[in-house]
């Protein structure tokens, strides 16, 4: 594609003379701008992809993929068994959720209580490797399972007892008073999501029904699928079976959250691509000045018979090589940085005593990073495309140089 003479001219252009030091500075800034732009894009997109994947996994591990709630009629055992027979690849459990308040040591803390049957615990992937203290085998009766951060906030451990006030009430001769019970902590879990570990507890289904003053008519069904992203399909199938139930999927409940995350990711991509575009303008400036300074040399080459296309290709290759090498270095730097992002965060936190990634703000206990080959290819392609355009336009200025006029006063 490129002849030896074209490569030779490109090499000489990339090594400007001492009196052309300004061109060297422009080339260095062009290189650094594109390299940092590519690296920053890869790092930011990796973190955004990691956030989406990590939060999706946490949400899917904690919440059911499809929820069936009673609406115009109650959910019967017959309907429950019918769903189990039809969707054999899914795990379907009975639940009853409600809000309550923990009272301990003059501290009041609002929580969400999730009531499930002990035999259904194994059907919830949430509990796999999440119990950090206690045993799930003790999960029955008035025993309760709480999150790590809730236990820290309350200052309790496994075996301690806590007083919980229900959202239901009791009628007494002295009037209506809130219902409250004492529960023993059977186990402590850590999901890795700060909000979950701080606000959610688990209670046996029978105890939950009694505590909230509910009936079996109020029980809901939660469906856990092997392929969570097919939840909407299962949702529609269940809704067709009985329109009198309220059926929703995990994507319905978190639609606004993931939409906001997607919009933020796209906006960040657009903003950060401006770094590459600005750096590309440096290539245009550098090539324009280079061509202006080498007008005499270009005229001589044309006089010696070198074709117009060869000279254009030489100057195009000069700009493109800067962008290409910068893109390659940026990809390498961005990938390595993304891979060791959490280690770098911990090092900076310890070195400067800074809380760079607070759990209570970002919901996660470490910076997630997911390196995507597709994203790297897209960023690299965009960088090379912008570089090619930036190198092409100034190169065509060579065509306007006429040897006779350029050498007239030499």
Q: How far is CA 192 from CA 95, 134, 199, in A?
A: 23, 18, 13
38, 196 Cβ separation under 8 angstroms: no
The confidence score (pLDDT) of residue 14 equals 63
Number of C-beta neighbours around residue 363 at 10 A: 17
Do residue 206 and residue 315 come from a single domain? no
Nearest CA to 294 out of 306, 278, 282 is that of 306
The residue with tokens 């401006």 is 274
Do residue 140 and residue 197 come from a single domain? yes
Residue 75 lies in a domain: no
| Residue finishing a domain among 179, 201, 224 | 224
Nearest CA to 114 out of 90, 131, 139 is that of 139
- What is d(CA 86, CA 313) in angstroms, rounded to the nearest whole number? 66
Do residue 279 and residue 220 come from a single domain? no
Residue 41 domain boundaries:
4-57+257-406
Residue 356 lies in a domain: yes
The confidence score (pLDDT) of residue 172 equals 57
The pTM assigned to this predicted structure is 0.66
Q: Which residues have a Cβ under 8 Å from the Cβ of 40 and sit 6 or more positions away?
A: 272, 275, 334
Residue 124 lies in a domain: yes
The confidence score (pLDDT) of residue 331 equals 93
Do residue 157 and residue 39 come from a single domain? no
The confidence score (pLDDT) of residue 408 equals 55
Do residue 217 and residue 261 come from a single domain? no
DSSP designation for 193: B
The pLDDT profile of the chain, 410 residues, written as one tens digit per residue, is 666 666 666 666 666 665 555 566 777 778 888 888 899 889 988 888 887 777 777 777 667 888 888 887 888 888 888 888 888 888 888 888 888 989 887 788 889 998 888 888 766 666 767 888 888 877 878 889 999 999 998 889 998 999 988 877 666 565 566 788 889 999 998 877 778 888 889 998 888 888 888 887 788 888 888 888 788 888 888 888 888 888 888 878 777 777 777 787 788 888 888 888 888 888 787 777 777 766 666 666 666 666 777 777 777 888 888 888 889 999 999 999 988 888 888 887 788 777 776 665 566 667 788 888 888 999 899 889 988 888 887 777 776 666 555 555 55
Do residue 100 and residue 52 come from a single domain? no
Do residue 298 and residue 195 come from a single domain? no
Do residue 214 and residue 103 come from a single domain? yes
What is the DSSP track for 320-370? Answer: HHHHHHHHHHHHHHHHHHHHTHHHHHHHHHHHHT--SS-HHHHSBSS----
Total domain count for the chain?
A: 2
Do residue 272 and residue 401 come from a single domain? yes
| Residue finishing a domain among 201, 224, 247 | 224
| Residue finishing a domain among 200, 224, 248 | 224
Do residue 331 and residue 264 come from a single domain? yes
Residue 334 lies in a domain: yes
Do residue 273 and residue 356 come from a single domain? yes
Which strand (E) or helix (H) includes residue 180? strand 175-189
The confidence score (pLDDT) of residue 377 equals 92
Do residue 105 and residue 174 come from a single domain? yes
285, 104 Cβ separation under 8 angstroms: no
Work out whether strand 107-116 and strand 200-204 pair parallel, antiparallel, or are unpaired: parallel
Residue 142 lies in a domain: yes
Backbone angles phi and psi of 406, in degrees to 5: -65, -35
């Amino acid at each position: 594609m490129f002849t030896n003479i074209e490569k030779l001219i490109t090499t000489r252009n990339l090594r400007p003379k001492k009196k052309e030091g300004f061109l060297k500075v422009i080339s260095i800034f062009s290189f650094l701008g594109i390299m940092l732009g590519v690296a920053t894009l890869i790092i930011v997109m990796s973190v955004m992809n990691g956030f989406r994947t990590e939060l999706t996994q946490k949400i899917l591990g904690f919440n059911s993929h499809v929820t069936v709630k009673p609406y115009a009629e109650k959910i019967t055992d017959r309907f429950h068994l019918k769903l189990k027979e039809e969707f054999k690849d899914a795990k379907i459990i009975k639940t009853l959720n409600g809000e309550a308040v923990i009272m301990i040591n003059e501290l009041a803390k609002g929580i969400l209580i999730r009531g499930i049957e002990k035999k259904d615990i194994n059907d919830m992937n949430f509990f796999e490797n999440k119990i950090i203290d206690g045993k799930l085998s003790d999960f029955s009766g008035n025993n309760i399972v709480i999150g790590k951060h809730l236990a820290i906030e309350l200052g309790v451990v496994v075996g301690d007892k806590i007083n919980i006030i229900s959202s239901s009430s009791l009628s007494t001769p002295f009037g209506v008073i809130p219902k409250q019970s004492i529960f023993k902590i059977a186990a402590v879990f850590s999901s890795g999501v700060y909000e979950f570990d701080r606000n959610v507890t688990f209670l046996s289904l029978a105890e939950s029904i009694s505590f909230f003053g509910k009936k079996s008519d109020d029980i809901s069904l939660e469906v856990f699928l092997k392929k969570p992203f097919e939840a909407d399909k299962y949702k529609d199938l269940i809704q067709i079976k009985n329109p009198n139930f309220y059926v929703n999927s995990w994507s319905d409940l978190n639609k606004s959250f993931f939409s906001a995350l997607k919009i933020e990711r796209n906006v960040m991509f657009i903003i950060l691509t401006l770094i590459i575009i600005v750096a590309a303008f440096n290539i245009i400036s550098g090539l324009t000045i280079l061509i202006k300074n080498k007008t005499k040399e270009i005229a001589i080459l044309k006089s010696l018979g070198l074709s117009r296309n060869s000279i254009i290709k030489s100057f195009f290759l000069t700009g493109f090589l800067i962008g290409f090498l910068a893109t390659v270095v940026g990809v390498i730097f961005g990938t390595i940085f993304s891979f060791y992002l959490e280690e770098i965060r911990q090092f900076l936190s310890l070195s400067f005593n800074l809380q760079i990634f607070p759990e209570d703000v970002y919901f996660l206990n470490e910076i997630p990073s997911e390196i995507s080959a597709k994203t790297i290819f897209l960023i690299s392609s965009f960088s090379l495309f912008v570089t090619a355009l930036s190198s092409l336009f100034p190169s065509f200025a060579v065509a306007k140089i006429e040897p006779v006029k350029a050498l007239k006063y030499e």
